[in-house]
Structure 1
Amino acid sequence: MTRAGWAIGGVGLGAGLMYWADPRSGRVRRAHVREKALHLLHGVRSAFEVVRRDMSHRARGLLYRGRVKLHPEDVDDVTLEARVRSAMGRVCSHPGAIQVACRHGQVELKGPILASESKRVLACVRRVRGVREIDDDLEVHEHAGHHPDLQGDATRPGSRPELLQRSWSPTARFLVGLGSVGLLGYGLSRGGKAAPVLGGVSLLLGLRSLTNLELKRLTGVGAGPEALTFHKDITLRAPVNEVFAFWQAMHNFPRFMSHVEEVEVTGEGHSRWKVRGPAGIVFEWDAVITRLDPGRVLAWKSVEGSMVENAGIIHFEDLGEGRTRLDIRLSYNPPAGLIGHAFAKLLGADPKKQMDDDLLRLKSLMELGKATGHETVSRDELVPGRGVETWVY
């Protein structure tokens, strides 16, 4: 190491010692770090205990299944029928249309069924513990047609492998996490062109196991507008008709929302948004109102193909005495999903904090008559929007 490197390292070490050994604030800082470390250690211990219990239960389950296969159990007819109906409910869209009769391990199935489901239902019933023989008297129909028992669309996904489920078990998360670490080590040891690919795969698997969120929500690919969801309640000292009229006049939002650059009303129920994101990047999209119940509900979503898919719904509740409660649910899919959201937070753009700040400005504007967004604005300066007949203050 050069002299400059040693000098920089010495300065850094000295600054660190001064920070932690400061006679006035050093004790508080050290205590804070110690508490954080203890909290992290407690969380890790709790997580390992959950994994241990889950592994223990699964091992006992596998042992019991193996024992049952070696020594088939005698199941009474009532229990077997309940097992068969439970199994069919996972793979059959109309299980109520099928009559089930059990007698000493022999299962008789009668009733209408769709051709696309018949083989799957028979295979599922055959795997039920206690079933020895199946008497297939099912009426197979290519289409539901006008058959009364096959009406309605109630497709069942069936049993899915562990790693294809939306939420993973603690054991699966633990094993995949270990696998991602091993894959990362293998990629680093090999080097070359394969290293970045293996590193990226191990990163995604590691994040999937740590967060227990689907890959489509992490990456934003195929997640629609619901990759990230926020929920907020707020009570305003203002009549419900005024609050609803305010939200309906969307072109006024930039006056108090610091991250919204412009909202242009392009037609009845349609608008175009310009929002400033991380690093000053401006995102644009078109939105349409999907539900409008005056004084009660306002819902919207971005149109298909928008740069940032998003949706939201606001429920307005009249609390009486000139007070209104807002129940706000917002969801959006940022570029790169939750991974992109994490990077945006590192760059200082946190949508959740922005929403909280904007709602505080809204409360100030509705109750005190003044708020600050891009500029200080009073309620009298706001312009009623399309569909707002009166503004009464």
Structure 2
Amino acid sequence: MVVSTRAGAERSQNITVVRQAPPMSRTVSAAGLGAVGGMVTEYLFDPELGRSRRARLRDKGVRLTHGVRNGTRTVVRDVRNRGQGVLGAARYRTTGREADDEVLHERVRAELGRHVRHPREVDVRVESGHVTLTGDVLDRESRRAHRAVARIPGVAGVDASWTTHHDARRAPRSREDGGPMEALQDLFRQRWSPAGRSLTGLAAAVVWSLSGRLPRPLGYLVRAGCAVLAARAATNLPLRRLTGIGAGRDAIDVGDSISVAAPAEEVWPVLSDYGLFARWMPDVLDVRRSDDGGRSQWRVSGPAGVPIRFEAVETAREEGRRIAWKTTEGQLVAHSGELSVTPEDAGRSRIQVRLTYNPAFGAVGHAVAKIFGADPGRKFAKDLMRLKSLIETRRAPVGAGAGPRE
């Protein structure tokens, strides 16, 4: 027994404990978090600019808090109103069957306005709940309108004796303008309702959290779809404006106005002179108009200061009041602009400027540029101040025309 105990003790003394090093990914993550924390600390507690940065961050936090609070109230109000609408529709379907012919007539006219291009061309007659429809409609509208009228509470039967036409121009009383007022689903509208945005964002988050159980290729596809829906709900912009694909010149819309201490007749020569654009928009290097004045050649400062050239055509000119232009088809930079001046009291004038353009990746690129400091809206406000200074002092402001701004 003594020998066995000694042998066990000797074996225990020969055991070597090996400690595994932390994974490389964990080390890199810790180093990255430390670097980010250091940069944030240096940014916020800089001896010269730290105080103003903290104040600006505090103001943005207050603004974000107010925005979230107002947004929450808007969503709650929208959900409540929509709930009342659903209850009203259900009550209409259940209790609306007891209606006289005059009420049914108005219901049929209202429903036809949602499904027929020219509802005034349809004559409606109601007798004891039976609806007779005569007149002229298009082939593609006939069946849909017939079903819609038949679903109206209180309608006992529908006799569609109208004349159908394949082409609207062949109808006796038809016109080419107008169209049926179809009720689009919220997801297919250009602007979503607050309730639709909230529910879509919530659904995207739930589906994202559950996508980890799916196979990898399918899971990645589902997560990409959730990211697109979340971005759509957060920005409330159509996908073509969000991505810039197929948006033309209308991906981003920037506009503002400013009041200047000069009458409109003195403002207009400065505002309408393309050659002066570079004096109050430093990103514009120069603009040259053609001999006929209808076209203009632009040279602007692009990424990394590389000049970009494009051609624009003037689309409107009201002497003394307004000018508008847009880039020609096939240009690298797609944008349109409008400048207008309106007189004010006491010899003052108000200048209104509106620009629409399509940056790289649409509104996503616009948001990324704003995060990294190249905020087009802020630049736009500074440009207007330069224009105000140019008009009121009759000279270019200090620093203008010296090259692109940071």
Shorter-chain TM-score range: 0.7 to 0.9
Measure how far apart 1:289 and its partner are.
0.9
Match of 2:167 among 139, 143, 147: 143
Match of 2:198 among 174, 196, 199: 174
Measure how far apart 1:266 and its partner are.
3.8
Query: Structure 1 length normalisation: TM-score?
Result: 0.78
Structure 1 pair 306/93, CA: closer, same or farther in 2 (3 Å)? farther
Q: Matched residue pairs, number?
A: 376
Asked if the contact 1:51/1:174 (under 8 Å) is kept, the reply is: yes
Is structure 2 residue 279 aligned with structure 1 residue 272?
Answer: no
Asked if the contact 2:207/2:226 (under 8 Å) is kept, the reply is: yes
Q: Aligned partners of 2:64 and 2:116: how far apart in 1?
A: 46
Is structure 2 residue 359 aligned with structure 1 residue 330?
Answer: no
- Range moving further from structure 2, 216-225 or 56-65: 56-65
Asked if the contact 1:278/1:347 (under 8 Å) is kept, the reply is: no
Aligned to 2:332: 307
Aligned to 1:229: 253
Counterpart secondary structure, 1:83: helix
Counterpart secondary structure, 1:314: strand
Deviation per CA, 1:98-143: give whole Å up to 9, x if none.
Answer: 2222233222222222333323322332333333311212222333
Match of 1:263 among 272, 287, 291: 287
Measure how far apart 1:360 and its partner are.
1.3
Aligned to 1:287: 312
Structure 1 pair 236/209, CA: closer, same or farther in 2 (3 Å)? same
- Range moving further from structure 2, 197-206 or 141-150: 141-150
Aligned to 1:382: none
Residue type at the aligned position of 1:310: H
Is structure 2 residue 129 aligned with structure 1 residue 105?
Answer: yes
Unaligned runs of at least 5 residues, structure 2 = 1-21
Counterpart secondary structure, 2:387: helix
Aligned to 2:118: 94
Q: Aligned partners of 2:251 and 2:361: how far apart in 1?
A: 10
Aligned to 2:151: 127
Aligned to 1:356: 381
Asked if the contact 2:252/2:363 (under 8 Å) is kept, the reply is: yes
Counterpart secondary structure, 2:169: coil
Counterpart secondary structure, 2:176: coil
Aligned to 2:390: 365
Is structure 2 residue 207 aligned with structure 1 residue 201?
Answer: no
Residue type at the aligned position of 1:364: S
Measure how far apart 1:363 and its partner are.
1.4
- Range moving further from structure 2, 13-22 or 43-52: 13-22
Measure how far apart 1:283 and its partner are.
4.3
Measure how far apart 1:205 and its partner are.
0.8
- Range moving further from structure 2, 3-12 or 65-74: 3-12
- Range moving further from structure 2, 46-55 or 229-238: 46-55
Asked if the contact 2:280/2:384 (under 8 Å) is kept, the reply is: no
- Range moving further from structure 2, 317-326 or 120-129: 317-326
Measure how far apart 1:96 and its partner are.
1.9
Structure 1 pair 204/284, CA: closer, same or farther in 2 (3 Å)? farther
Aligned to 1:374: 401
Residue type at the aligned position of 1:374: G
* Structure with greater Cα Rg: 2
Structure 1 pair 326/160, CA: closer, same or farther in 2 (3 Å)? same
Query: Structure 2 length normalisation: TM-score?
Result: 0.76
Structure 1 pair 100/15, CA: closer, same or farther in 2 (3 Å)? closer
Measure how far apart 1:338 and its partner are.
0.9
Structure 1 pair 83/331, CA: closer, same or farther in 2 (3 Å)? farther
Listed as ranges, the matches of 1:156-167 within 5 Å are 156=180, 158-167=182-191
Residue type at the aligned position of 1:357: K
Measure how far apart 1:62 and its partner are.
4.4
Structure 1 pair 97/369, CA: closer, same or farther in 2 (3 Å)? same
Residue type at the aligned position of 1:255: R
Q: Aligned partners of 1:319 and 1:15: how far apart in 2?
A: 49
Structure showing the higher strand proportion among its residues: 1
Q: Aligned partners of 1:157 and 1:128: how far apart in 2?
A: 17
How many percent of aligned residue pairs carry the same amino acid?
35
Counterpart secondary structure, 2:184: coil
Asked if the contact 1:256/1:371 (under 8 Å) is kept, the reply is: yes
- Range moving further from structure 2, 46-55 or 86-95: 46-55
Asked if the contact 2:252/2:356 (under 8 Å) is kept, the reply is: yes
Listed as ranges, the matches of 1:20-39 within 5 Å are none
Deviation per CA, 1:149-172: give whole Å up to 9, x if none.
Answer: 312321335122221122223332
